[in-house]
Amino acid sequence: MESTLYDYETAARERLPRPVWDFLAGGSGTESMLNTSREALDRLTLRPRCLVDVSDCRPDTSLLGSPLPAPLGIAPMAYHQLAHSDGELATARAAGASGTLLTVSMFASRALEEIAAVAGGPLWLQLYWLRRREPMLDLIRRAERAGYRALVLTVDAPRIAHRPRDVRNGFALPAGIRAANVDPAVMTATHSAAAGQSAIARHAREQFDSSITWKDLAWLRERTELPLVLKGVLTAEDAELAVQYGVDALVVSNHGGRQLDFATPAPDALPEIADAVAGRCQLILDGAIRHGADIAKALCLGADAVFVGRPVLWGLAHSGSDGVAAVLRTLMREFDEVMALMGAPDVQAFHRSGIARK
C-alpha cells in the first residue's frame, strides 16, 4: 500500500478520465481557494509537551453521541461511483471496518438503505435544500427509518459556484451514474451539458431553493428528531445564530474551495467560531485534511473532529473499498503518532497552546 495520502492522489489522477478528475479536484472561480486551507494549516506548527505518559494513547471520541475510533469522519461527496463502480457501498464498507463516520451526500449514487445495510459505522445524511420540499422530507423519513443518526444541511451552496474546469469540459454525469435517492423528476439536466456549461451547476440552478433563511431552518427543525448539523459556516455571527436555532453541530468549511472564491480559509475561521459557541454545539473542520497532524491542529483550533473529503475519492479510485480503508488507516496511524509525540494521551489534551503560527 501507499505511504501518504498524496500517493493515492497520484494514482487517482492517472486512473480517472480527465473530466471526472477535474470535477473531483476542481474549485470555483480563480481556484484560489484550492490551496488556502492547506496553507492555513501549514502555517501552524505543533508545540509538543514532554514527559507526559503516552504509553496508552486514546484517539477515540464521540460526535453527537456516536462513539468514533478517532476524531475523523468522511465529508459528504456526491456520486462516489465517479471514482469506483461500487461507489458509496465501497466507502461504507471501508468506513465500517474502523467504525468511522460516513456522511452520505444527498446526491449519493447508491441507495441510502443499501449503504446502511453494509455500513458498520455511524451514518449521517447531507441535504441541499430543494425548491420542492416533499422529495427532501421523503429523504429524511427514509434516513430515519434506515438508522441514519444526523442530518447535515449544506448552507454554503444556495447555488453551485462557477467551476471553470467543469464549464470547460461541459461536465455532465456519465450514463449509468445518477443520484440514486432523489426523485428523478428533481434530477433534471444532470446528464447533458451544452458546450461551455456544467450540468451540475445547471441542475442546482433549476432545483436548489436559494431563498431559504433561518426561518426555514426552524421549519426543518420541527420536522425531524434527528440532530441537525449545518455545513459551510465560516463566521462567529452565523455560528451564534445556529446555536440559537437549535443546531447540534457545525461543519466549519469552505467546501473544499468549490464555493465562495476568496472566502476565509476554514482553519482561520475556526477559532472565532469556537470562541462564539463556547461548547454549546460540536464543531467539525473540513478542507485540506491530508495528514494526521492536520487533525491535531484542528483540535487545537477548537474542533471536536475533522472531515476528510477528496482523499476518500482518491482511495476509491485507487482500489475501491481497500483504498478507502487504507486512506483512513493512514490518517489514524499518523494521528496516533502525533498524539504520542505531542504528549497528548487523549483528544481532550489538545488546546490552543498546542499550536503556534509560523
Ligand X SMILES: CC(C)CC(=O)C(=O)O
Ligand Y SMILES: Cc1cc2nc3c(=O)[nH]c(=O)nc-3n(C[C@H](O)[C@H](O)[C@H](O)COP(=O)(O)O)c2cc1C
Interaction site with ligand Y (CB under 6 A): 24, 75-78, 105, 107, 126, 154, 231, 253, 255-256, 258, 286-289, 308-310
CA atoms within 13 A on the CB side of 241: 12
Q: Work out which of 63, 68, 78, 305 binds ligand X, going by CB under 6 A.
A: 78
CB-based contact 18:311 (threshold 8 Å)? no
Give the nearer residue to ligand Y in terms of CB position, either 57 or 288. Answer: 288
3-state secondary structure of 286: strand
Give the nearer residue to ligand X in terms of CB position, either 86 or 156. Answer: 156
From ligand Y, ligand X, none, interface partner of 287 (C-beta below 5 to 8 A by class): ligand Y
What burial class does residue 159 get, using C-beta atoms within 10 Å of its C-beta: 0-12 exposed, 13-18 middle, 19+ buried?
Answer: exposed
287 marked ligand binding residue: yes
From ligand Y, ligand X, none, interface partner of 173 (C-beta below 5 to 8 A by class): none
Residue nearest to ligand X (CB): 78
Q: Work out which of 258, 290, 291, 310 binds ligand X, going by CB under 6 A.
A: 258
From ligand X, ligand Y, none, interface partner of 268 (C-beta below 5 to 8 A by class): none
Identify which of 175, 170, 174, 173 has the alpha carbon closest to the alpha carbon of residue 194: 170
Amino acid making up residue 18: R
**First-to-final CA distance of the chain:** 33
60 marked ligand binding residue: no
The least distance separating ligand X from the CB of residue 13, rounded to whole angstroms, comes to 18
Instruction: Give the CA angle between residues 328, 348, 120 to the nearest 5°.
Output: 35
76 marked ligand binding residue: yes
286 marked ligand binding residue: yes
Instruction: Give the CA angle between residues 266, 268, 271 to the nearest 5°.
Output: 100
309 marked ligand binding residue: yes
Phi-psi region of 339 (alpha: psi -120 to 50; beta: other; left: phi over 0): alpha
Q: Work out which of 54, 74, 108, 200 binds ligand X, going by CB under 6 A.
A: 200
The yes-or-no answer on residue 318 being catalytic is no
From the list 80, 255, 291, 318, the catalytic residue is: 255
The least distance separating ligand X from the CB of residue 296, rounded to whole angstroms, comes to 26
Partners of 74 in the β-ladder: 102, 308
Scanning residues 127 to 166, which ones bind ligand X (CB under 6 A)? 157, 160
From ligand X, ligand Y, none, interface partner of 286 (C-beta below 5 to 8 A by class): ligand Y
Q: Work out which of 21, 107, 124, 148 binds ligand X, going by CB under 6 A.
A: 107
Give DSSP secondary structure letters for 1-28.
--SSHHHHHHHHHHHS-HHHHHHHH--S
Amino acid making up residue 222: E
The least distance separating ligand Y from the CB of residue 288, rounded to whole angstroms, comes to 5
From ligand X, ligand Y, none, interface partner of 283 (C-beta below 5 to 8 A by class): none
Q: Is 171 in the site for ligand X (CB under 6 A)?
A: no
The least distance separating ligand Y from the CB of residue 248, rounded to whole angstroms, comes to 17
Give the nearer residue to ligand Y in terms of CB position, either 284 or 342. Answer: 284
Identify which of 108, 190, 186 has the alpha carbon closest to the alpha carbon of residue 143: 108
Residue nearest to ligand Y (CB): 309
The least distance separating ligand Y from the CB of residue 232, rounded to whole angstroms, comes to 7
The least distance separating ligand Y from the CB of residue 52, rounded to whole angstroms, comes to 30
- What is the gyration radius of the CA atoms in the chain, in angstroms? 19
353 marked ligand binding residue: no
Distance CA 43, CA 353 (A): 15
From ligand X, ligand Y, none, interface partner of 310 (C-beta below 5 to 8 A by class): ligand Y
Q: Give me the long-range contacts of 189-197 (CB less than 8 A, separation at least 24).
A: 194/170, 195/170, 196/167, 196/168, 196/170, 197/167, 197/170
Q: Give residues in contact with ligand X (CB under 6 A).
A: 78, 107, 157, 160, 200, 204, 255, 258
Just list the catalytic residues.
Answer: 255
